[in-house]
Amino acid sequence: MPINIRKYTIILLVGILLSWGVFGLWSIWLNGELIKPDISAKVSQVEQFGTRSGHGNLLGIQPWMEPADYQNGLTFREKIAGYLQTAKDSGLIIPQKTIVILPEYLGTWLVVMNESNRVHTAHTIQDGLTAMVVNHPINFWKAYRTVPESVSDKTKYAVFAMKARQMAYEYQLAFDMLAAQFEVTIVAGSILLPNPSVKNGKLVVGDGLLYNVSTVFRPDGKLEPQLIKKVYPIADELPFVCPTNPADVPVFNTPIGRLGVLVCADSWNSPVYQTLKQKGATLLAVPSYSAGDHVWKTIWRGYSGTPTPDDARDDVGKLTEGQAWLAHAMAGRAAPEANITQGMNVFLRGKLWDLGSDGTTIMLTGKATPQTARYINGAAIICLWL
């Protein structure tokens, strides 16, 4: 049967036009409105505690982060550099003797870097993650097929797994550059990665379970080989984040003391303090994130993800969330349980989709009563002189 060239040409052209039309609408939906990130460090408060001496300091940076700050690795790095430069200009950085503490999940949202504007302008985190899945259907499906059987929230796992290598690369690039540039030790918040490890000085990811992991960068920019994996994921994390062993919490030698790092909820649990005491920690950093706007003043409902211990049970329903952080986390446990009298607990703040944020910096100053920084609904830099 002879082929009707004209007929098939018309069909082909119509198909191409329809495809381009659908592609155009698809692109508009994915890209959304054009946004320009404001990477300037707008610090609302700079506060100092203690007296400057030759011993060094803990420097807490409470950043104000928004999705646009994560457009790419450069925007992220420049945003954090702005806070460090403000601290330096304020005389709060002593080369080799300053430990910078950044909040939990600061690196986690690198998952949205190099994504469409639709992701960054989404009204909810669910909408943002959905746009990512639509944008990377093949990579998402490949990651989804490898989700470990023990993971119940396979979608969230797959989203982070498909971007993990890129996230790890940009995260390390940012903090090894910043640590070396400002000659400080950096506790680099935390990031979600599958089976992370340090090989030949590089942060690498593998296959397997997802961990909420923190890292320490030395003043020369090198990454410490031991990672801090969150021991006690909270209820919202447990469907896709793996817990670890309290005995595995590391302690680091720094120019100003032996540093322990506890990721958020870990600071509420006694077993990790036993580890810090056994390993001789003298300083403590706690990167944290408290989800929900204005949650600091709501009634505390007890532990999340783990049973509330006996020594805290009577305060459930009586204290506010903020009061509970003072009574039962670092401020209430570090000194009596680990003999650590100097430390800092720093919270992530910002407008990250519909997640909300709250909290204020808490310090162990060597005195009997812990101190808190002034509550700021914005970015703050807090210095504790040792």
Dist CA 55 CA 4 (whole Å): 87
| Cα 334 to the center of its chain, rounded Å | 22
Residue 217: strand pairing partners:
186, 223
Q: Averaged over 148-167, what is the pLDDT?
A: 94
Residue with tokens 């800092």: 344
3-state class (DSSP) for residue 183: coil
The DSSP call for residue 368 is: S
Instruction: Compute CA distances 296 → 46, 315, 347, 348, 352, whole Å.
Output: 21, 15, 11, 13, 17
Range in 40-49, 160-169, 327-336 with the lowest mean pLDDT: 40-49
pLDDT tens-digit series, residues 261-280: 999 999 999 999 999 999 99
Confidence of residue 325 (pLDDT cuts 50, 70, 90): very high
Task: Answer whether residue 7 shows pLDDT above 80.
Answer: no
- Tell me the CB-side half-sphere exposure of residue 8, using CA atoms within 13 A: 4
Mean pLDDT, the chain, rounded, equals 90
Token code pair at residue 313: 């049970």
Question: Is CATH 3.60.110.10 the right assignment for the domain spanning 45-385?
Answer: yes
Q: Are 220 and 180 in contact (CB under 8 A)?
A: yes
Domain boundary assignment for the chain: 45-385
Query: Residue 315 class from Cβ within 10 Å (0-12 exposed, 13-18 middle, 19+ buried)?
Result: middle
Query: What's the predicted TM-score (pTM) here?
Result: 0.90
CB atoms within 10 A of CB 1: 3
pLDDT tens-digit series, residues 51-102: 998 899 999 999 999 999 999 999 999 999 999 999 999 999 999 999 999 9
CB atoms within 10 A of CB 258: 15
Q: Nearest CA to 273 among 318, 304, 309?
A: 309
Dist CA 171 CA 161 (whole Å): 15
Q: What is the pLDDT of residue 368?
A: 80
DSSP string, 15-56: HHHHHHHHHHHHHHHHH-S---------EEEEEEES---TT-
Residue with tokens 């909820």: 265
Q: Are 141 and 178 in contact (CB under 8 A)?
A: no
Residue 191: strand pairing partners:
213
Backbone CA torsion sign across 228, 233, 238, 243 = positive
Dist CA 96 CA 219 (whole Å): 6
